[in-house]
């Protein structure tokens, strides 16, 4: 290996290896390069399709961003799922995943390829998302981004465009590298990688492996993500927390719920005097992270055999794995009430009996202010009551079942990607070639959920908790009088759970002790032994709070055949070339629900106490997270396609493509044509344009399987059922683009106008619009309105009382949404110039969105979302993603000898939160009618990066990347984490040091 070759590979390593990251464009095959956007061998790299190529050298110049950072920074990508954005339904259960969302159309509409082969999506969340974190970074050479619909070429899912990662085929020797990224508030991120490539004549070998480790970054380690209630009531606060809200005198004088008086002592926010409700609002945010701890590794191997008559067989295998932990709320508020199988259950409320030691202590501790109903003996003579959505067993004090300093619920998430592929390429004649391919891809995801069994929680409130309680079942309590129940509670293996603030020793996030903790001494003389009524014990807690496992496995098997060649026809501009082919795809989606989360084993709340329990609606036994049944669904897709490249004259080329796809079952079928033109108007000017149709069939998991998401409604997160819709129709779009490319000397400039006209886009019904239409700013606007009866039936209410604050859960469906029209402009330019001994480059790239128009949306016969333009808006709980109007970069760089230096400015335009009075108007419930107006405008976000690289004579490359040099904070947004995780980064200033060595 020559020194020059080693230096070339070393420079690739700086991006690809030292940062454990590399990028592709389209498959390389010896000296033949197949270009993304075409099926014909030998197509020009600067063809008619709008394709951006990011090579290893360019990405190294940008500081070797991680795949997630790259996706977020791409001007053509908006609304990126990644990091710990656990509070949006679209990213839930996708911890450790990174997506690419071209044009902001949704990651499910961006087709991701590896060497031209489809990569299967993950099935854990509510959207089919390809996890690009599992792409083997140590193996990559470049990435190509086709910024246009491409169903005519690639089939379903390529509506927004195509991202094609390409591995290296020309490496000769070993390459090793590693880097460390310093991040304030965490232990930093680091990676290591190694690869080997060699051409042995008849066989080419390429092996690569990588390892990445990310450290936890807590949300409390950034001041701007940790705000008080009166600055952002939506910033991670719940009106159903712990301390919670109770009616401390039972039914005496009617049902009225008031805040636990220990609220403020533990750091909660109690409604201001003059408010219409008395609530303790407590924060779950401090138990979460901005970055979860992650470990990830990849291994890839490729062999390419040269066979007889020039045929080539290329086989490859990939294994990638991610381990991460979701840090989340210590417990969730129960959204369903305990059944009659539980002690004091069946009333629609949770009940703490009058005899409970915790209630007696609370009433004695806080005196008359507690509002308790006391008998002649000074003891409570009425129970305390709680709406299911107005308290939870743990919050500010953490969950003692989890052995960490915050008591945060730590739930394991694991994901594995397996991919095998084989390609046989053969020249049948000088003008005819055959390509046969097969790809197997599988994404296996394991994740845990933690939640409370509502009947066992109610039993514990009444003194019948614990796994060995002799009076846990309704049969064991049958015939006992009220006095007898009070006498046996807390005996014979039974124990209590204290739900009040007095059962909490300290605020584990803030580290402040609770002045009202009963463990420091009981006011009414009760025992402070764990489980006896005042101090909670692990055995009782572990009986009603359970962690269960779930899996989601997606599998895809693809076979394709392409015959391509030269027709021998020449219209004056060169030979007409063609490709014809066929493809079959088999998709399988399977999901399992373990333990208490399985509806077949625990169909009803009472199932935890009686396996034969029945209920009108099988909600499961868990209070919040929901349950499901194991299922597996599959579909098959068959496709025929063709492409023709027709040089009309020397300077004008026509590309025609068409594809017919047929989905099994009710998936539908589609014929999608596309035409593109390329005109070499001058030596320095290319004009191009095209139009076509794209298509995406209804995913079988959305037509056949139910899921549950967690969504912020009425001051707290609620369970939202995403129900299967067998009537889903395919979605279609017509795409248009026109552009120009100028190349003159060292100057390069390109501009592309684009437009997508959608019909029948498959989306989940907009929760925000449904809630706003039903309840309005008042919280009860259309309750009881006959015209809204079908919409009201989608909600389940505590106590059966229609109000936004009483919502326990709601039902939604995937549906064919309103028509969407979006258009915009992509711009990029650079100028290279020699300045003395230095080579200098200045450049800029950006994307500007003109419109993203969404039509009227109707659910259950009610208009829930009027037509609007989503550009420049946050689009919270709508069918659109956050969509800044403008996003771009500008840079200046220089190379002097073996040194490279680059400064880059990154800019994301500001945008508006379009929510109205319910968020930014008067807040009578907790702020006595005051308004909180901050965060309506999410300001622009601009960062400055600096990258330095040095190639040493020893074939060693050193690099330093200083990202966000000015330590800019992510802009404030009225969301749970106080910023928009789909758009902005909270890492602040970071410093990354890398080293790579070629052998």
Q: How many residues does the chain have?
A: 999
Distance CA 466, CA 473 (A): 12
Distance CA 261, CA 500 (A): 9
DSSP code per residue over 901-946: EEEEEEEE--EE----HHHHSEETTTSTTEE--TTSEE--EEEEEE
Q: For the chain of 999 residues, list the mean pLDDT of each consecutive stretch of 10.
A: 38 37 33 64 71 89 89 92 81 87 93 95 84 91 92 89 94 96 97 96 96 97 95 95 96 88 97 96 96 96 92 96 96 94 95 97 95 93 93 98 97 97 94 96 96 98 98 95 95 98 97 95 86 97 98 97 94 93 96 95 96 90 91 93 95 95 81 96 96 87 77 77 86 95 95 95 89 90 94 87 87 91 97 94 97 94 93 93 97 96 98 94 95 97 97 95 97 96 96 96
pLDDT reported for residue 35: 59
C-alpha radius of gyration, the chain, whole number: 30
Distance CA 522, CA 281 (A): 26
pTM above 0.85, yes or no: yes
- Strands 762-764, 937-938: pairing kind: unpaired
In this structure, what token pair is assigned to residue 375?
A: 């008998």
Q: Which residues contact 910 (CB under 8 A, 6 or more apart)?
A: 884, 937, 938, 939, 940, 941, 971
Give the helix/strand (H/E) hosting 671: strand 668-682
Q: What angle do CA 921, 286, 246 make, to 5 degrees?
A: 65
Give alpha helix (H) positions in 284-392: 357-366
Distance CA 441, CA 128 (A): 14
Beta carbons of 588 and 633 less than 8 angstroms apart: yes
Q: Which residues contact 565 (CB under 8 A, 6 or more apart)?
A: 428, 429, 431, 432, 433, 577, 578
Longest dimension (CA), the chain: 107
Question: Beta-strand (E) ranges in 697-803?
Answer: 707-713, 716-723, 731-744, 747-759, 762-764, 795-797
Beta carbons of 990 and 966 less than 8 angstroms apart: no
Distance CA 407, CA 396 (A): 9
Beta carbons of 9 and 171 less than 8 angstroms apart: yes
Beta carbons of 421 and 439 less than 8 angstroms apart: yes
Beta carbons of 917 and 931 less than 8 angstroms apart: no
Give the helix/strand (H/E) hosting 127: none
Q: Which residues contact 511 (CB under 8 A, 6 or more apart)?
A: none
For the chain, first and last CA: distance in Å? 8
- Strands 312-328, 269-270: pairing kind: unpaired
- Strands 807-816, 716-723: pairing kind: parallel
Q: Tell me the three state secondary structure of residue 984.
A: coil
Distance CA 678, CA 655 (A): 8
Q: What phi and psi, each to the nearest 5 degrees, are found at residue 280?
A: -95, 115
Buried-state track 530-559, b at ≥16 Cβ within 10 A, e below 16: bbbbbbbbeebbebbbbbbebbbbbbbbbe
Beta carbons of 189 and 183 less than 8 angstroms apart: yes
Q: Tell me the three state secondary structure of residue 230.
A: coil
pLDDT reported for residue 45: 57
Residue 182: strand pairing partners: 991
pLDDT reported for residue 157: 85
Q: What angle do CA 970, 912, 87 make, to 5 degrees?
A: 60
Distance CA 188, CA 159 (A): 37
In this structure, what token pair is assigned to residue 569?
A: 């026809």
Domain ranges of the chain: 242-283+330-407+453-521+529-544
In this structure, what token pair is assigned to residue 398?
A: 């953490």
| CA pseudo-torsion sign 857, 863, 869, 874 | negative
Distance CA 822, CA 807 (A): 35
- Nearest Cα residue to 472 out of 457, 484, 487, 450: 457
pLDDT reported for residue 42: 58
């Amino acid at each position: 290996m020559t020194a020059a070759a080693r230096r070339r590979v070393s420079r690739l390593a700086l991006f690809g290896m030292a940062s454990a990251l590399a990028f592709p464009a389209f498959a390389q095959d010896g000296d033949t390069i197949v270009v993304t956007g075409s099926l014909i061998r030998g197509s020009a790299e600067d063809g008619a399709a709008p394709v951006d190529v990011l090579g290893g050298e360019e990405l190294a110049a940008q500081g070797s961003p991680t795949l997630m950072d790259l996706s977020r920074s791409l001007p053509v990508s908006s609304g990126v799922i990644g990091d710990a954005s656990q509070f949006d339904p679209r990213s839930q259960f996708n911890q450790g995943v990174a997506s690419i969302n071209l044009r902001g159309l949704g990651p499910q509409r961006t087709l991701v390829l590896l060497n031209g082969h489809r990569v299967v999506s993950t099935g854990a969340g509510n959207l089919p998302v390809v996890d690009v974190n599992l792409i083997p970074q140590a193996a990559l050479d470049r990435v190509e981004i086709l910024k246009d619909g491409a169903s005519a070429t690639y089939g379903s899912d390529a509506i927004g465009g195509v991202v094609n990662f390409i591995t290296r085929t020309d490496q000769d020797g070993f390459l090793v590298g590693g880097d460390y990224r310093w991040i304030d508030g965490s232990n930093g991120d680091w990676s290591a990688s190694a690869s080997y490539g060699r051409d042995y004549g008849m066989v080419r070998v390429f092996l690569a492996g990588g390892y990445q480790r990310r450290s936890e970054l807590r949300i409390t380690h950034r001041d701007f993500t940790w705000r008080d209630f009166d600055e952002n009531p939506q910033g991670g606060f719940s009106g159903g927390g712990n301390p919670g809200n109770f009616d401390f005198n039972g039914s005496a004088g009617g049902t009225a719920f008031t805040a636990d008086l220990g609220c403020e002592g533990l750091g909660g926010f109690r409604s201001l005097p003059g408010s219409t409700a008395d609530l303790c609002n407590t924060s779950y945010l401090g138990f979460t992270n901005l970055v979860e701890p992650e470990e990830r590794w990849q291994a890839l191997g490729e062999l390419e055999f040269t066979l007889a008559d020039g045929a080539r067989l290329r086989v490859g295998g990939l294994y990638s794995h991610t381990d991460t932990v979701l840090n989340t709320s210590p417990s969730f508020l129960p959204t369903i009430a305990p059944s009659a199988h539980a002690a004091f259950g069946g009333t629609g409320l949770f009940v703490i009996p009058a005899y409970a030691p915790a209630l007696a202590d609370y009433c004695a501790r806080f005196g008359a202010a507690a509002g308790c109903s006391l008998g002649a003996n000074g003891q409570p003579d009425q129970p305390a009551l709680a709406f299911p959505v107005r308290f939870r067993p743990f919050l500010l004090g953490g969950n003692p079942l989890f052995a960490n300093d915050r008591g945060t619920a730590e739930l394991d998430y694991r994901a594995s990607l397996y991919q095998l592929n084989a390609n046989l390429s053969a020249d049948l004649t000088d003008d005819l070639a055959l390509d046969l391919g097969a790809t197997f891809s599988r994404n296996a995801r394991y994740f845990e959920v933690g939640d409370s069994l509502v009947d066992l929680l109610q039993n514990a409130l009444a003194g019948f908790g614990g796994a060995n309680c002799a009076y846990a079942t309704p049969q064991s309590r049958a015939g006992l009088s009220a006095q007898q129940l009070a006498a046996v509670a807390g005996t014979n293996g039974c124990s209590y759970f204290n739900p009040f603030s007095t059962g909490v020793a300290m605020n584990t996030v803030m580290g402040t002790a609770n002045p009202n903790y009963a463990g420091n001494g009981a006011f009414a003389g009760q025992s402070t032994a764990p489980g006896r009524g005042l101090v909670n014990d692990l055995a009782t807690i572990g009986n009603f709070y359970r962690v269960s496992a779930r899996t989601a496995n997606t599998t895809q098997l693809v076979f394709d055949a392409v015959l391509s060649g030269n027709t021998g026809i020449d219209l004056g501009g060169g030979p007409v070339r063609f490709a014809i082919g066929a493809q079959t795809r088999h998709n399988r989606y399977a999901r399992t629900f373990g333990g208490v989360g399985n509806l077949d084993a625990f169909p009803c709340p009472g199932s935890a106490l009686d396996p034969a329990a029945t209920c009108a609606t099988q909600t499961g036994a868990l209070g919040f997270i929901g349950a499901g049944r194991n299922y597996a669904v599959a579909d098959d897709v068959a496709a025929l396609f063709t492409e023709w490249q027709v040089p009309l004259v020397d300077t004008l080329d026509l590309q025609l493509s068409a594809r017919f796809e047929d989905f099994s079952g009710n998936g539908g079928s589609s014929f999608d044509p596309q035409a593109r033109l390329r005109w070499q108007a001058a030596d320095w000017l290319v004009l191009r344009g095209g139009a076509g149709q794209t298509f995406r069939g209804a995913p079988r998991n959305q037509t056949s399987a139910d899921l549950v998401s967690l969504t912020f409604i009425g001051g707290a997160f609620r369970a939202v059922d995403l129900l299967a819709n067998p009537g889903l129709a395919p979605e279609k779009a017509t795409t248009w683009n026109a552009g120009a490319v100028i190349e003159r000397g060292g100057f390069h400039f390109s501009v592309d106008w684009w437009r997508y006209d959608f019909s029948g886009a498959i989306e989940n019904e907009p929760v925000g619009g449904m809630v706003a239409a039903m309840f309005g700013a008042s919280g009860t606007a259309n309750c009881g309105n006959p015209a809204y009866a079908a919409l009201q039936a989608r909600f389940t209410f505590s106590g059966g009382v229609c109000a936004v604050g009483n919502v326990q859960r709601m039902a939604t469906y995937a549906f064919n949404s309103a028509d969407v029209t979006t258009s915009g402009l992509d711009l990029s330019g650079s100028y290279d110039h020699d300045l003395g001994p230095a080579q200098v480059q200045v450049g800029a790239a950006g994307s500007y969105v003109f419109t993203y128009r969404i039509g009227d949306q109707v659910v259950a016969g009610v208009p829930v979302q009027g037509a609007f333009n989503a550009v420049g808006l946050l689009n919270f709980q709508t069918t659109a993603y956050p969509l800044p109007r403008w996003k771009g970069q500008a840079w200046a760089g220089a190379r002097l000898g073996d040194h490279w230096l680059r400064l880059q400015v990154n800019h994301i335009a500001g945008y508006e939160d379009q929510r109205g009075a319910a968020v930014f108007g008067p807040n009578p419930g907790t702020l006595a009618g005051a308004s909180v107006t901050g965060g309506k405008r999410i300001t622009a976000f601009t960062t400055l990066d600096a990258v330095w690289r040095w190639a040493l004579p020893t074939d060693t490359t050193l690099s330093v990347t200083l990202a966000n040099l000015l330590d800019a904070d992510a802009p404030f947004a009225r969301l749970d984490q106080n910023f928009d995780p789909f758009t902005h980064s909270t890492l602040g200033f970071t410093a990354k040091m890398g080293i790579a060595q070629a052998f």
